Amino acid sequence: MKGLLRRLSSLDADAAAAVRVIAHYQALLGGGAVDPVTLTRSTAGLAQCPAGLELADGSTVRFAPDGVALPGVPGHVSGSVELRPRGRVWLERDGADAPFDALVLEWMAIAARVGPRVPGPSPRAADPALVERVLSERESIEDRTRAVRLLGLRPALPLRVVAVAVDAESDAGVVAVTLLARSGLAATVPVATVGPLAAAMVQPGQGDDSPAAELRAVLADRAREGLPGGARSRVRFGVGGGVPPSHAATSWAQARAALRFAGDGPDEQVMDHEELGPLTLLAEVPAARLRADPGVRALAELARRDAGPSGIAALAAFCRTGSLRQAAGELHLHHSSVAARLAGVEAATGWRLNRPDGRFRAQLALYAWRLSRTD
Peptide bond into 85 cis (omega under 30): yes
Which residues are CB-neighbours of 357 under 8 A, at least 6 positions away?
none
**Residue 73 burial (C-beta neighbours within 10 Å; 0-12, 13-18, 19+):** exposed
Q: What is the mean pLDDT of residues 325-329?
A: 89
Cα–chain center distance at 136 = 23
Beta strands in 133-222 (DSSP E): 160-166, 187-188, 190-194, 197-204
Q: Are 37 and 61 in contact (CB under 8 A)?
A: yes
Q: What is the C-alpha separation between 76 and 98, in angstroms, rounded?
A: 15
The CATH superfamily holding the domain 287-373 is PucR C-terminal helix-turn-helix domain (1.10.10.2840)
Domain boundaries, the chain: 2-117, 124-277, 287-373
For domain 124-277, give the CATH number. 3.30.70
Q: How many CB atoms lie within 10 A of CB 329?
A: 14
The mean per-residue pLDDT over the stretch 264-270 comes to 81
The pTM of this model reads 0.71
CB-hemisphere CA count at 13 Å for 325? Answer: 0
Tell me the per-residue pLDDT of 273-306, one tens digit each, with 9 for 90 and over.
999 999 999 999 999 999 999 999 999 999 999 8
What pLDDT digit, counting tens, does each position of 176-196 carry? 877 777 776 766 788 888 888
Choose from 6-10, 144-148, 203-207 the range with maximum mean pLDDT.
144-148
